[in-house]
Amino acid sequence: MEPDYRALVDSCKYALESKKREEITLKKNATDIQNRLSSLKKIHAIFKEAAVMSQDFLSEYIQNIVTDSLKVVFPDHDTKFNLDFVTTRDTQCIPSLEVDGRKISMFDSDGYGALDIVSISLRAAYIILEGSEKLLILDEPFRNLSLDRHELAARMLQGLSHKLGIQIIINTHLTHITDFADAVIRVDYDHKHKRSIVRNEHETVLEERGYKKDTVPSRGKRFKSKRPDM
């Protein structure tokens, strides 16, 4: 029996047409993928540019805050704080300090005072950028700063508070910097009567939680702790 050549030819034609349709579909899909890839590359470029712009803004904002603080405390030096973003596999933020045109390490033994100012300013900048409650609490913030710069540092804190609109509370034994404070609360401990004495700079009564009025005569009014003696 002779083979049915016509049916064989028709089958080959059908298979060829199917392959052509598949090829057209694959080309269309490839074009769609290429277009999507191109769009994704454009989006990536936009995000990358936005990230660089954000880094530039962040860097400039923080640099200005810290540098301004350093200039108040160290007016006798040309001091600048730099913040650089370096991208290799990951993006790293690298801080550095420049004094009189010379880069120095903030961790040098003679640079601790500057490090204190940088640390305080960075914390203040973070509070603003993070959007949290505008309150900065410092415990003996000038311990590494030379005595002759304490008043300059207090002036710096006053300016930082007013400029950024944040409240700064300091716990310190440095009574000579209180002239720059908007309010001063003095706390003494009376060992003889085992009581805490709390008064503001004008010796007026301060109602504080855990205290009650006491009639012991003194310069200004006092409060006796309700807490049991230790």
Backbone φ, ψ for residue 20 (5° rounding): -65, -40
pLDDT tens by residue, 174-208: 888 888 888 888 888 888 888 888 777 644 434 43
Read off the pTM. Answer: 0.65
CA distance 4 to 106: 92
CA distance 230 to 227: 9
CA-wise closest residue to 100 among 83, 75, 125: 75
Q: Which residues pair with 213 in a beta bridge?
A: 223
Q: What is the mean pLDDT of residues 109-135?
A: 84
Backbone φ, ψ for residue 210 (5° rounding): 90, 5
What pLDDT, on a 0 to 100 scale, did the predictor assign at position 230?
Answer: 33
Q: What angle do CA 140, 146, 150 make, to 5 degrees?
A: 60
Domain residue spans of the chain? 5-182
Q: Return the sign of the alpha-carbon dihedral for residues 70, 74, 80, 81.
A: negative
Secondary structure percentages of the chain, helix, strand, coil, to 5:
50, 20, 30
Residue with tokens 């700064």: 168
CATH architecture, range 5-182:
3-Layer(aba) Sandwich (3.40)
CA distances to 50, 51, 87 from 46, rounded to whole Å, are 6, 8, 17
What pLDDT, on a 0 to 100 scale, did the predictor assign at position 157?
Answer: 94
CA-wise closest residue to 143 among 116, 107, 182: 116
What pLDDT, on a 0 to 100 scale, did the predictor assign at position 228?
Answer: 36
Q: What is the mean pLDDT of residues 13-30?
A: 82
Angle between helices 112-130 and 5-73 (to 10 degrees): 130
Residue 7 tokens read as 């049916």
